[in-house]
């Protein structure tokens, strides 16, 4: 008997990929990340910040940014999620809190996407509770919503996307497709 490691949703994911609309190419995303690095450096070069990665989506963005930030910094991460492998969110579930001491420190939260802002707002609140002096936010993508958001805008934003479900560069579709080379929108039903 052969055991297959194939994802049972392989065919569905193949269809999602083939029908997706490419919003930004890999080179366009890389250019946006380069610009983010310049802007972040200009703001934080003398502030010895903690870069706080919001897992799992921001791991790609943080990894891309790190070698472009030529100043002293420390890295930590949190895992606070609403989606848990689904395409819509629920209440915030904390899987990991930050470990570095934030009192009296500047913190830059790095996330993949600003959607309704529930997760990033919860992490900002946690940093405030831990007495961070200044809290900055960075997102690769700002989704343009026509409704109220809990967190209105990031301090540093790479790109904007329409109010559609997007994947690539850390953003997922049901836990998959984070490694897509560009940013794509799922075909609307």
Q: Any idea what the CATH number is for the domain that residue 53 is in?
A: 3.40.50.2020
Question: Could you tell me which residue, 30 or 189, shows the higher pLDDT?
Answer: 30
Report the pLDDT value the prediction gives residue 1, as an integer from 0 to 100.
36
Asked whether residue 3 is domain-assigned, the answer is no
- Counting the structural domains of the chain, the total is 1
Report the pLDDT value the prediction gives residue 154, as an integer from 0 to 100.
96
Asked whether residue 4 is domain-assigned, the answer is no
Q: Which residue has the tokens 């890999």?
A: 26
In which domain, by residue range, is 138 found?
A: 26-83+92-175
**In 10 A of CB 103, how many CB atoms?**
8
76 catalytic, yes or no? no
Handedness of CA 27, 32, 35, 40 (dihedral sign): negative
Question: Could you tell me which residue, 41 or 85, shows the higher pLDDT?
Answer: 41
Asked whether residue 58 is domain-assigned, the answer is yes
Q: Which of 63, 59, 65 lies closest to 35 in space, CA to CA?
A: 65
Asked whether residue 42 is domain-assigned, the answer is yes
pLDDT at 2 over 50: no
Give 153's pLDDT tier (boundaries 50, 70, 90).
very high
Q: Which of 64, 56, 59 lies closest to 33 in space, CA to CA?
A: 64
Tell me the pLDDT tens digit for each residue of 82-128.
Answer: 765 555 556 888 999 999 999 999 999 999 999 999 999 999 999 99
Report the pLDDT value the prediction gives residue 81, as an integer from 0 to 100.
83
Asked whether residue 184 is domain-assigned, the answer is no
Ramachandran bin of 180, using left for φ above 0, alpha for ψ from -120 to 50, beta for the remaining angles: beta
Report the pLDDT value the prediction gives residue 184, as an integer from 0 to 100.
98
pLDDT at 148 over 60: yes
For residues 121 and 135, the answer to whether their CB atoms sit within 8 Å is: no
Task: Supply the DSSP symbol for 7.
Answer: -
Catalytic residue (one of 115, 125, 155, 172): 115
Q: Which of 19, 173, 145, 163 lies closest to 86 in space, CA to CA?
A: 173
Asked whether residue 17 is domain-assigned, the answer is no
Asked whether residue 38 is domain-assigned, the answer is yes
Asked whether residue 74 is domain-assigned, the answer is yes
The percentage of the chain sitting over the pLDDT mark of 90, rounded to a whole number, equals: 79
């Amino acid at each position: 008997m052969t055991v297959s490691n194939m994802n049972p949703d392989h065919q569905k994911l193949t269809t999602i990929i083939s029908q997706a609309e490419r919003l930004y190419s890999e080179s366009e995303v890389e250019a946006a990340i380069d610009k983010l690095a310049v802007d972040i450096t200009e703001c934080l070069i003398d502030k010895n910040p903690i870069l706080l990665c919001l897992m799992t989506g921001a791991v790609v963005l943080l990894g891309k940014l790190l070698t472009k930030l030529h100043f002293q910094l420390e890295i930590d991460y949190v895992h606070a999620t609403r989606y848990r492998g689904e395409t819509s969110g629920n209440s915030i579930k904390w899987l990991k809190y930050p470990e570095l001491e934030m009192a009296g420190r500047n913190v830059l939260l790095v996330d993949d996407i600003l959607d309704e802002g529930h997760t990033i707002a919860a992490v900002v609140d946690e940093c405030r509770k831990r007495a961070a002096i200044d809290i900055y936010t960075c997102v690769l993508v700002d989704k343009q919503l026509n409704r109220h958001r809990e967190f209105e805008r990031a301090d540093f934003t790479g790109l904007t996307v329409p109010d559609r479900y997007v994947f690539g560069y850390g953003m997922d579709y049901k836990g998959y497709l984070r490694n897509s080379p560009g940013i794509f929108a799922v075909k609307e039903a």
